[in-house]
Copies of this chain bind each other. A is one copy, B any other.
Amino acid sequence: MDLVERALAGERLALARLLTQVENDTPAGRAALDRLFPRTGRAHLVGITGAPGTGKSSLANRLARAFRSLGDCSPARKVAVLAVDPSSPFTGGALLGDRLRMKDISGDPGVFIRSMASRGAVGGVARATAALASVLDAAGYDPIFIETVGAGQSEVEIVRLAHSVVVVDAPGLGDDIQAIKAGILEIADILVVNKADLPGAENTLRALENMLELAYPAGSAERRRPPLLRATATTGEGVEEIVRAILEHRAYLKETGGWQRREQDRLRREFEALLSAALVARWREQAGSRAVHELFARIASREVSPSQAAEEAVKKTMGCE
């Protein structure tokens, strides 16, 4: 059996190695992705995002455990967590001695945790996250939680991979954090106020309730209004309701065609990213390194603008109809 077959057969070490190949975008990794592609499209991808300090990781941990013991299928579901959050204890945070929280699930063979470097080549993280999720999907993990901090645009892109997005909030965050928060509310399918045992939780709930009133006025049923839930990840309180909301959102997407639509959007974006990279590479090859060098020199000397140069290059590359 080769690496792909062993990963599909459930060998964790093989899966880990395969994920590394795919993350590094090696030729073997790319070939594996093509082979695995027909097996993908089954897993429920669930984004978990929110500002730093909201307790997303603890919640992801709890949710993974809850889905493991759900008892709605036999054999039991296998669950994966992909952490692309630099403040997550699964990734960067772990370096800072915050490994404790993930202890609960790390011993469970039915849970696969993978953390990713959140910095790298342009567009690299979103691409790599999509690719890793595909491998885990093909390997039978479902749901796959994608944990990311809800700040930058690339994080929002990563979350857009997901079928369902859980946005986590918490009381007692600073004003700066509040401002970051506003931007991610609009992508929420499920809203959770975590740390609901802290003072101020009622205020946070009320503020979110008001925001929802504004965004989804009573009577307008055009868009689905995300449920607003409360939880305390440290004790597990409220986790069951989130699990139910995730399953309900899955059913809702399947019924309304939203599942298929999100899937198709995602695949189209993936295709276009690959196509544009390939077309630029082909242009570079056809033009030859001297011509490319000369063109860059003309841009640097301000003789042509980047957009004029791009126009010129397109004409040369594709002007043979």
Which residues of A come within 8 Å of B, CB atoms?
Answer: 30, 33-34, 37-38, 40-41, 52-53, 86-88, 92-93, 95-96, 98, 118-120, 122-125, 149, 151-157, 174-180, 182-183, 260, 263-264, 267-272, 274-280, 282-283, 286, 295-296, 299-300, 302, 305-311, 313-314, 317-318, 320-321
Contacts and interface: CB of A to CB of B under 8 A. Distances in A.
Contact of A318 (B98, B179, B276, B282): B282
A38 B302 contact: yes
6 contacts: A30-B307, A53-B176, A53-B177, A93-B179, A119-B153, A119-B156
Contacts of A93: 175-176, 179
A278 B310 contact: yes
A195 to B, nearest CB: 13
A272 B280 contact: yes
Contacts of A268: 296, 299
Given A96-B178, A154-B152, A276-B280, A267 B310 contact: no
A66 to B, nearest CB: 23
B154 A310 contact: no
Contacts of A286: 318, 321
Nearest to A263: B300
A151 B183 CA distance: 14
A126 B209 CA distance: 33
A99 to B, nearest CB: 12
A299 B38 CA distance: 10
Contacts of A271: 295-296, 299, 306, 309-310
Nearest to A271: B306
Nearest to A184: B119
Contacts of A156: 119
Given A305-B34, A307-B30, A317 B279 contact: yes
Contacts of A317: 279, 318
B272 A92 contact: no
A157 B122 contact: yes
Nearest to A303: B38
A86 B180 contact: yes
Contacts of A122: 153, 157, 269
A37 B302 contact: yes
Contacts of A263: 300
